[in-house]
Chain A
Amino acid sequence: MSELDNFDVVIGLEIHAELKTKTKVFCSCKNEFGALPNTNTCPVCTGMPGALPVLNRHAVCLAIKAGLCFGCEISPYSVFERKNYFYPDLSKAYQISQLVYPLCIGGGVTLDNGKKVRLNRIHLEEDAGKLTHISHAGGTLVDYNRGGTPLIEMVTEPDISSAEEAVEFLRRVREALVFEDIANCKMEEGGMRCDVNLSLRPKGTTTFGTRTEMKNLNSFKSVERAINFEARRQAEVISNGGVIVQETRKWDDDRGESFAMRSKEQAQDYRYFPDPDLLPIEVTKEDVSNIKDEMVELPADRRTRYVEEFGLPQYDANILTSTKYISTYFEKCVEFYNAPKKISNWIMVDLLKLVKEQEEIVFPLSEQHLAQIVKMVEEKVINKTVGLQLLDEVIKTHKSPEVLAKEMNLLVTISDEQIIELLNKLKNENAKVAADYKVAPDKVTGFIMGYVMKNTGGKANSAKVRELISKVF
């Protein structure tokens, strides 16, 4: 038993995600990753004297979309404030952010265990530049390309109680933001970042303990490890009679531990005040409803629908909604051929393995072609093995499955005469079947059908067989 067993873990997250706008949030410089240093810059984002910010409305739309994803209330009136602090990556020595009047208020995410993780807010702000420390030259280089790119900051209430919940929450957030084209959330590029606030309290109590904040968590794995490390560390400190100091800690992923950066006393006073260069953001009900109209159905809603409407297992629903592309692909296939579970099987078993190496999944054949193949198999025009051959060929040639099947001679080639011959054989050999058919044809048709299929390698046309059964018997 570890010391941690005596405590409840209380976690709140702060998530930053870079918005997918073409240009920066307060100037018209390109918002792109990986350009040559200081090429996507202008007087505004380099903080030249006299330069003024001008709000990019698209960034506001995306932030509102994010709010709508998580059921936030969209504030009709929100205000940009200046967060003042000195650091070389911050060209103006203040970050334009929101404090008292954020754009989105409340909302939350319901986890699989039924727990709702409440959001306090989502606000819009600008990112800082990037510093590169050159140790051999003893200097630091500043790149302002990232400076002024739009970010949303999502702040949760302290509703999370384990690393698993935290990671599930983050996955759900990322999934929705990517699904709605709000953000790329590429954690390795800094497109999504997470800070963890964590405290402990004795099991069964309700008063919050002193919390620490952990920064620099750039993968789900490090979030998980950092939470587990910090919970254990705090439990040990408390159990040994120590006290937790309110501080900011930096997670070192290589060493698998965090260390103190600065205490509460050393914390900066950001001297927030409303930015006089920017007007308050005003959002009407109509704006919100227009933005809502642009949005696609959220992955969580789709999952529910797939289970309830299509009768898919939860497992299928989860995989099919893992990206917007797969989900849209699946639904289009179903439009062409209404057999959701069959389509799902083909996508999950046969298609996904073809593209598992791809960074961004794109299936190599059209929805219509896949639907046709599935249909041909289901209608027993071909069997599954032949269907897979056909799949390969469609991918290679991009020809229609029906055309290809003919060309390749894959279609059922059993003649009526052959079927009649088989049926007569059965009738002669199995008098009981013939007798039963006279009394209750429905009861034995399946058996007769099976017999024909077995003896034709599945290549007989089932509708034709049915027709001939009634003739022969």
Chain B
Amino acid sequence: MDFSKLSLIEIRDGIANGKFTSEEVVRFFIAKCEEKKSLNAVIEIFYDAVDRAKEIDNKIKNHEKVGVLAGVPIAIKDNILYKGKKMGCASKFLQNFVASYTSTVVEKLLSEDAVILGRTNMDEFAMGSSCENTCYGVCHNAIDPDYVAGGSSGGSAAAVAAGLVPCALGTDTGGSIRQPASLNGVVGLKPTYGTVSRYGIVAFASSLDQASPICKTVEDCQLVLKVIAGKDIHDSTTIDNKLISVHKSKYTLGICRQVMQEAKSTQGGEEFYKLIQKLGDIFDIVQVDIPHIQNSLACYYIIAPAEATSNLARFDGVKYTVRSENAKDLESVYVQSRSEGFGREVKRRIMLGNYVLSSGYFDAYYNKAKRVQKLIKREFTEAFSHCDCILMPTTAGTTFKIGEKLADPIAMYKEDLFTVPANIVGVPAISVPYAKIGKFPLGAQLYADDLNEDVMFEVAKIVEKVGGVK
């Protein structure tokens, strides 16, 4: 049976109903990962997943109570800790690191009897939009290997799109789940900030990071989010997001004037207009204003590097990171190890972060960015008083060729233009595939107000159906 054609829920139900076993499913996906190794999406297969699958099969056979993800294989991004397994953030600096504890998200998946299948490729320390900044070698797009998978959760998106696993966790700091989901034609979610615990996930920008699933369907994402969400005593920033489902007879969809101005000249602009027209029959469509939404990207490239600089300082060559062989004294342990250990993009952001935090510049950059962030948040709140969800493109266009944007960091940063605002204001967003340009898929995003994942999922399911791309 070709399990790669099934959704996570279909697989889950099949296992539960005895149509097939978790072991069969897990062995199938392991074989798939091995077969498509050249994609470079799954960088390590956890072969002990088979043993765990057998355990869960036994539980089912013995009619023991099992979790809502019983027997379903899930891959995790290489920045999520799973005790005893290697975790490297796609950085050669962490090449020998083995997790000494398990992240809350993995604990929660395991407690619902999921099977962790392996870890996926990413941009180093989640910095990048192409999955080219990685010590494992570039991750290829699931549709065409000459093209990028997007990033930073490129491995997770490509793995789901290529049928290597029905679900993979990613992390989204400025679009790192939604952008690669869009470029590979799968569904990618970022929940309200604080919904999912960050404990045991290597921090990039702590105030923006959220882990979340990439799946084939909106419904799959919704289920997995329900499992991994929740207030966590290990993460003070978590909130109690109830994720209650609601159904309305008709939803109001907001179209942001400022986003439309940006979108009209993009490669995906035309398809996006067509989508709005199609959706006009189903939803009430209103125009909303978020006058400073374009400033989100600037805020992001101040706040995220500032936090990243501090978060990445612990990788210093003293403890678990690789120490440079050229280190002679304390200073060279730091300087040499970090110079050799971090890649170009990571160094660029560390320098950027140090610059905006340094005395004399702190007010002009960091504090100002925080003020602008508050302003944009107010504008979003106002916009959501007129609509249930805001529809916008996920990316300006489809995937691009490997190497195409590597030399131009600004072009690469602009990949996040439509995804970054969700992180800056903390609201949930989901990217759903809705069209193709040639063979390449394109995603549309739905933004909802804080804690309104429920409405967002319902609207997303409709967009998913209207788009008709699976």
Task: List residues of chain A with CB under 8 Å of any chain B CB.
Answer: 43, 46-55, 82, 84, 86, 88, 91-94, 142, 269, 271-273, 276-279
Q: Within 8 Å of chain A (Cβ to Cβ): is B47?
A: no
Contacts A/B (CB < 8 Å), 7 sampled: A54-B234, A84-B309, A86-B313, A86-B316, A271-B358, A272-B357, A273-B357
Say whether A278 contacts B362, CB under 8 Å: no
Chain A residue at smallest Cβ distance from B366: A273
A48–B320 CA distance with the chains assembled, in angstroms: 8
Q: Within 8 Å of chain A (Cβ to Cβ): is B354?
A: yes
Say whether A276 contacts B207, CB under 8 Å: yes
Say whether B87 contacts A49, CB under 8 Å: yes
Say whether A48 contacts B310, CB under 8 Å: no
Say whether B313 contacts A93, CB under 8 Å: yes
Contacts beyond the supplied A46-B319, A49-B315, A88-B330: 9 A-B pairs with Cβ under 8 Å: A49-B203, A50-B79, A50-B80, A50-B199, A50-B201, A51-B101, A84-B309, A94-B310, A276-B207
Question: Would you list the 8 A-B pairs with minimal beta carbon distance, nearest first?
Answer: A93-B313, A276-B207, A271-B357, A276-B206, A50-B200, A49-B202, A47-B314, A92-B314
Contact residue range for chain B? 35 or more
Q: Within 8 Å of chain A (Cβ to Cβ): is B246?
A: no
CB distance from B192 to the nearest CB of A (A): 16
CB distance from B92 to the nearest CB of A (A): 15
Say whether A277 contacts B206, CB under 8 Å: yes
Q: Within 8 Å of chain A (Cβ to Cβ): is B198?
A: yes
In the bound complex, residues from chain B placing their C-beta under 8 Å from that of A94 are 310, 313
A326–B179 CA distance with the chains assembled, in angstroms: 69
A84–B308 CA distance with the chains assembled, in angstroms: 12
Q: Within 8 Å of chain A (Cβ to Cβ): is B235?
A: yes
CB distance from B415 to the nearest CB of A (A): 24
Say whether A86 contacts B334, CB under 8 Å: yes
CB distance from B301 to the nearest CB of A (A): 15
A92–B313 CA distance with the chains assembled, in angstroms: 7
Chain B residue at smallest Cβ distance from A93: B313
CB distance from B330 to the nearest CB of A (A): 7
Say whether A52 contacts B199, CB under 8 Å: yes
Given A47-B314, A50-B103, A84-B310: A279 in contact with B237 (beta carbons within 8 A) = yes
Say whether A271 contacts B310, CB under 8 Å: yes
Q: What DSSP secondary structure best describes chain A's contact surface?
A: loop
* CB interface residues, B 366-389, toward A, < 8 Å: 366
Say whether B366 contacts A48, CB under 8 Å: no
In the bound complex, residues from chain A placing their C-beta under 8 Å from that of B366 are 273
Say whether B202 contacts A50, CB under 8 Å: yes
Q: Within 8 Å of chain A (Cβ to Cβ): is B307?
A: yes
CB distance from A116 to the nearest CB of B (A): 32
CB distance from A87 to the nearest CB of B (A): 8
Say whether A271 contacts B354, CB under 8 Å: yes
Say whether B362 contacts A273, CB under 8 Å: yes
Q: Within 8 Å of chain A (Cβ to Cβ): is B245?
A: no
A55–B234 CA distance with the chains assembled, in angstroms: 10
Among A48, A52, A55: residue with most chain B CB under 10 A:
A52
Given A94-B310, A276-B307: A52 in contact with B234 (beta carbons within 8 A) = yes
Say whether B235 contacts A52, CB under 8 Å: yes
Say whether A276 contacts B81, CB under 8 Å: no
In the bound complex, residues from chain B placing their C-beta under 8 Å from that of A278 are 236
Q: Mark B239-252, 1 if CB is under 8 A from A, else 0.
A: 00000000000000
Q: Within 8 Å of chain A (Cβ to Cβ): is B318?
A: yes
In the bound complex, residues from chain B placing their C-beta under 8 Å from that of A271 are 309-310, 354, 357-359, 362
CB distance from A347 to the nearest CB of B (A): 48
Say whether B236 contacts A277, CB under 8 Å: yes
Chain A residue at smallest Cβ distance from B125: A49
Q: Within 8 Å of chain A (Cβ to Cβ): is B136?
A: no
Say whether A82 contacts B200, CB under 8 Å: no
A86–B334 CA distance with the chains assembled, in angstroms: 8
A49–B202 CA distance with the chains assembled, in angstroms: 5
A142–B333 CA distance with the chains assembled, in angstroms: 15
Chain B residue at smallest Cβ distance from A88: B318
In the bound complex, residues from chain A placing their C-beta under 8 Å from that of B103 are 50
CB distance from A57 to the nearest CB of B (A): 12
A269–B354 CA distance with the chains assembled, in angstroms: 10
Among B79, B202, B314, B330: residue with most chain A CB under 10 A:
B314
Among A46, A49, A51, A272: residue with most chain B CB under 10 A:
A49
In the bound complex, residues from chain A placing their C-beta under 8 Å from that of B456 are none
Residue from the list B97, B234, B236, B310 in contact with A49, Cβ < 8 A: B97
Q: Within 8 Å of chain A (Cβ to Cβ): is B364?
A: no
